Amino acid sequence: MTVGVFTAVLLLGNVLKEILPFLISGQVRFGVFAEAVGLLIPFVWVFALPMGMLTATLLIFGRFSADQELTAVRASGISLLSITSPILLLSLALCALSALVNMDVGPRCRVLYNGMITKIRTELLGVYLPEGRIIRADMPGTRTNGYLLYIGKNRQRQLRDVMAYQLEHETNVIAIIKADRGRYEVDATNGMLNLYLFNAKILSMSQGKATPAVSDLVVHLDSRQSQKGNPRPRLSDMTFAQLWDELHDVEKRFSLPLARNLTTNELRAVKQQLTKERVDITTPIRVHIHRQVAFSFACFGFTLVGIPLGIRVHRRETNIGIAIALLLAGVYFSMVLLGQSLDTKPQYVPYLIVWLPNFIFQAVGAVLLWRANRM
């Protein structure tokens, strides 16, 4: 029941924001609206399953303790661990279900939902360079030379944390461009997309050293190819298998032979820099891989914390249990979001930070449960 309540609440936020206005205005039929809601359910289950398990645990054991039923059971010689073992096993089963939803079903449904919303909208929203994706963009007049782009943020064509890897013959990385800021314009007449990068730094694979900062660097791309859309979804909407393939694909591109006309020192410098750049572009992928797996264990950590907290609070009121559950869920998801926000800063190892809330909740829950069993 608690899972259903949180599912409805999370669905309401997405439906009111995106699909409901189309239904009210008469742009979509009710069948399309129902299909969109159905596609959103697995996506919101990523959050609803652990939150529902935490709330149910707090409410059940809070009522169990408040009515002195726990005291009666323990007086009969049954330990707290014996009482909680079936619930802990249920939480592990829900972890398996969460893994299926987080790593496969949820992302697939989210991609289908985004495709449906895109078809409903009658105007192109100007997102030629969507954020959070690794994009292959060709240079005008050629299909073998182009760029591998990663856009950290795109706010009305104002870009942040741009990484561009210039490709030759589809696979060879010949230059790396990094810029904290940028913007782009679309020349519909010539079918060009002009990407302006400010304070850009360039590392040429042929020279083995970075050039000084360059202002107003312009990269010309084929906008007609960009309008066709990238078949790959955003990193946040990829399944675990797709993320894994994406990681191997990017690493394969950086393992190609370098130019043979470099000296030993230049070759060493280029390899060191290339390794650093490979880490920079693969870190966002690793963060989403680890996030999907870490989220799958949230039900177990929430259950370990919820059982002793419910006993300690020993309140009958439902609103108290829900308030505590929301507070704990807010702490958990805030830590995960912290790791995701650092996905462009590999020096902080953000793909390990997303595991931190699991370690904290499980450790604290195990200690509290052990102490409650000794009381």
How far does Cα 351 stand from its chain's mean position? 11
- Pair (214, 148) in one structural domain: yes
181: containing domain: 134-231
pLDDT tens per residue, the chain (375 residues)? 677 777 777 777 766 677 777 677 566 778 888 888 888 888 888 888 888 888 888 888 888 877 777 778 777 777 788 888 888 999 999 999 999 998 999 888 888 888 777 666 533 334 467 677 777 777 766 666 778 888 888 877 788 888 888 887 766 777 888 888 898 887 766 667 788 888 888 877 655 554 555 666 788 777 554 444 445 678 888 889 989 988 888 777 766 555 555 566 666 666 676 677 777 788 888 999 999 999 899 999 999 988 888 887 765 555 676 788 788 888 888 888 888 888 888 888 888 899 999 999 999 988 888 888 776
Domain finish residue from 183, 208, 231: 231
* Helix (H) or strand (E) run with residue 160 in it: strand 158-168
* Total domains present in the chain: 2
- Pair (30, 97) in one structural domain: yes
Domain finish residue from 231, 248, 277: 231
pLDDT at res. 229: 45
pLDDT at res. 57: 87
Question: Is 264 contained in some domain?
Answer: no
Short-list 338, 311, 275, CA closest to 87: 311
Question: Is 256 contained in some domain?
Answer: no
- According to DSSP, the residues that pair with 134 across neighbouring strands are 150
- Pair (25, 118) in one structural domain: yes
The radius of gyration of the chain from alpha carbons, rounded to an integer in Å, stands at 25
pLDDT at res. 255: 63
- Pair (360, 305) in one structural domain: yes
pLDDT at res. 170: 66
The dihedral of CA 308, 311, 313, 317: what is its sign? positive
Question: Is 257 contained in some domain?
Answer: no
Question: Is 249 contained in some domain?
Answer: no
Domain finish residue from 188, 205, 231: 231
Question: Is 268 contained in some domain?
Answer: no
- Pair (84, 191) in one structural domain: no
- Pair (11, 116) in one structural domain: yes
- Pair (81, 187) in one structural domain: no
In terms of pTM, does the model score above 0.85? no
Six-digit token pair at 203?
Answer: 């590392």
pLDDT at res. 124: 36
Question: Is 212 contained in some domain?
Answer: yes
- Pair (139, 88) in one structural domain: no
pLDDT at res. 359: 93
- According to DSSP, the residues that pair with 203 across neighbouring strands are 176, 210
pLDDT at res. 214: 63
